[in-house]
Chains A and B, each alone.
Chain A
């Protein structure tokens, strides 16, 4: 059986197709203002027997494709377990959400925590702060890692943090030091969630922000725990959805 998982996130749409336990196709696109169209474009010409949707746009897809949906929390739990069977702690930092998930011995979800409704400390926050400092997303973590000290960013609200960054640079603060301060702010927020649900154990770090090497390094430092980033961290949710499609045969929703 060939099953597909579609993860419609706030910033990107991801598609994974699996067959005989192997990933045979991955695709990624921007969500844009029209997530349904973005999903359709991604699925163009792709064959599968059954599909499951996840991500914040999952219900939109359910309405239009009549496909089952699972929450992204469950999708990340399933995907992470498949990639790294012994993992018990997952951190997913996406475009607008941060999620910390702990798994029990059987690899089932046991606890999870999510950030509040605002996008503070998520991928979108990083994007805006990088832009405020005039860095590309590739340059941003490298610059931060090059700093020997950091400027503390007090506000986690994107709007306030941006004005804080502007006033720091206006005072002549070194850009890399401000960059490091921003990364530290994100990390402390994420590790607080992690410590609440799982006080120990290696962290499986996924989502778009896992591509940021500085965040990865700082999480490991802050927790004093190893951090594992899978080769394609943005695909974990879509993989989880595809795995769920395989398990359920696309017959029913995980959520009854």
Chain B
């Protein structure tokens, strides 16, 4: 690994805290990912990406900036990457997946706040997220109340915070709002980058992001096989890297991985024996390095075959379709695409339940684990109706609520093991 100290220092990172973070991350990665058996060769690329996640990738961002390209950081799948690519910008997901510097976060936001939001503040105030420090614009989207109000606190801490409003209902006015917000965002991107979006550049942006989604959809499709050709942890990692990596290189790497998995499926090879209980995870997003629950699941005798999550199918299952030839037509197509997303901030949100039910059948799952982050009102409240609806269709559900700490590992393990015993007895 090259020495990136100068680059980190130039970005204003706190080198001591950053070293501590990287060393914890490296250790966790070793224990959770590299210790898995029968991993596909194609995961080596993703191991490399993770080993360079604060190194080479940041160097690439700095090089892009030096060429006059902008870096746009965000925390949500409602921020349309197509538009960012249309101004030749770089879209990155920002750090919010670890319990780092929560003391620092709690100086500015309440203690009883969702860990994802707290984490974003922990990283910012600890000066350890190079993606955040490299971002020319940070997009704050009005999804849940926690994020919406927290962006008011984050605003003065970052160079340029852009607030994007979002609808809460799948209604005509809701659609109109989203469309207007995306048009405004496009204008802001043009101003910031000094580049004009053309039909040609947006078309190219759409094609690039669609190809990336196609690749992870192909990966999802391969997980239908029993035995599962890839662990849920590795598939989650691919979905996490989706937010950081160069989109074209990512797409090619996922497709190479899928070629290998296709061979595995043909030969009937898998990461765990055929008949291993298969589970779908549904709920809150799992940002890097939030691997706690998948790790417990896959060391408790089950395999995860799908994620109904923003870091998973909720974020990737729709392509931008019916594009048309003109810029307004394409912008409409982008709006339509994102308006489908069934995030729990929407009310009502029936398509999410339908989707979980569909995934359960499609991937031959035996149960669903509903994952909520503590203090995440939208998903916690929705977990009740989701459970009732799914159990009503004969689908076993285990509801979990947890944060980023490690102290509930034992209790989570007891629940998850008991759930695996429950679905395995029948």
Residues of A at the B interface (CB closer than 8 Å) are 56, 59, 70-74, 97, 108-112, 114, 116-117, 253-256
Contacts and interface: CB of A to CB of B under 8 A. Distances in A.
Contacts of A254: 421, 424
Minimum-distance CB pairs A-B, first 7: A73-B418, A117-B408, A71-B418, A255-B301, A71-B417, A256-B301, A74-B421
A111 B424 CA distance: 13
Contacts of B407: 117
Nearest to B407: A117
Nearest to B405: A117
A73 to B, nearest CB: 4
Interface centre among B391, B401, B415, B422 (most CB of A within 10 A): B422
Q: Main SS of the interface on chain B?
A: helix
A72 B414 contact: yes
A109 to B, nearest CB: 5
Nearest to A56: B410
Contacts of B391: 111
A109 B423 CA distance: 9
A97 B407 CA distance: 14
Given A108-B425, A255-B421, 17 more contacts: A56-B410, A71-B418, A73-B418, A74-B421, A97-B411, A97-B414, A108-B426, A109-B418, A109-B422, A114-B414, A116-B401, A117-B411, A254-B421, A255-B417, A256-B277, A256-B301, A256-B420
Nearest to B276: A256
A255 B297 CA distance: 11
B418 A74 contact: yes
B124 to A, nearest CB: 27
Interface string B391-415: 1000000000110000110110111
B300 interface: yes
Interface in B293-325: 300-301
A108 B426 CA distance: 8
Contacts of B420: 255-256
Contacts of B300: 255
Interface string B269-280: 000000111000
A108 B396 CA distance: 13
Nearest to A108: B425
Contacts of A97: 411, 414
B388 to A, nearest CB: 11
Nearest to A112: B418
Contacts of A117: 402, 407-408, 411
17 contacts: A70-B417, A71-B418, A109-B421, A109-B425, A111-B391, A112-B415, A114-B411, A114-B414, A116-B401, A117-B408, A117-B411, A254-B424, A255-B300, A255-B301, A255-B417, A255-B424, A256-B276
Contacts of A74: 418, 421-422
A70 B421 CA distance: 8
Interface in B93-147: none
Contacts of A255: 300-301, 417, 420-421, 424
Interface string B258-278: 000000000000000001110
A114 B426 contact: no
A241 B187 CA distance: 65
A5 to B, nearest CB: 15
A93 B5 CA distance: 53
Nearest to B277: A256
Nearest to B421: A74
Interface core residue of B277, B301, B425 (most chain A CB under 10 Å): B425
B51 to A, nearest CB: 30
B53 to A, nearest CB: 30
Nearest to B423: A109
A110 B423 CA distance: 9
Contacts of B415: 71, 73, 112, 114
A59 B299 CA distance: 12
Nearest to B412: A117
